[in-house]
Homo-oligomer: A and B are copies of this chain.
Amino acid sequence: MLEAVGALLLEAGYDGLTVDAVAERAGVHRTTVYRRWRDVGGLLADVLDAAADDTWSPPDTGTLEDDLTALCQEAYDALAAGATLTTALIAVSFRSPEAAAALSRFWADRYDRCAVVVERAVARGELPADTDARAVLVTATAPVYHELLLLRAAPDPALPRRAARAAAAAARAGTQLLSAGGR
């Protein structure tokens, strides 16, 4: 069922995503779909919640800059391909409050899992102990989403490394910048 939703979303967008279409694609009776989900927003929220229920964990390369670069590269690859499921889900989040809430939960979970990247850098002595992990992670990844998703700039393969380097440098510059005290 959830695969059917993803496939339809990618092909036809939110406008093509009806309970009937999902039922047909998944090969089940429409009443089965209606019994479980009242509408498309709830269905999408479940798709996202299911996607979060995985074993994904951030890379461990041995340095902050390389860990951040790998995270930025993953986001870059998901967005630079054009009409991807990621882009489709973000587009839908502007139309369905349930999908928006589910996407927020999904991202909050991912940023929580990535905090270990900053904790390891602190343990290695790369960063001050009071570094704000989320602020570092958002500083690194936000430019990738901003350039590709909002500004719709031409994909620049140097972007993931550049964004990661800038965030790592800002974090190393210390407690007045991306620390809990700076919040």
Contacts and interface: CB of A to CB of B under 8 A. Distances in A.
11 contacts: A87-B94, A91-B94, A101-B152, A138-B146, A142-B147, A158-B183, A166-B170, A166-B171, A169-B177, A170-B170, A170-B173
Copies of the chain in the assembly: 2
Contacts of A104: 151-153
A87 to B, nearest CB: 8
Contacts of A100: 152
A181 to B, nearest CB: 10
Given A94-B91, A158-B182, A170-B167, A139 B139 contact: yes
Interface string A116-141: 00000000000000000001001101
Interface residues of A, number: 44
Interface string A152-168: 11001010001101110
Contact of A94 (B94, B146, B176, B177): B94
Q: Give the most central of A162, A163, A177: most B CB within 10 Å.
A: A162
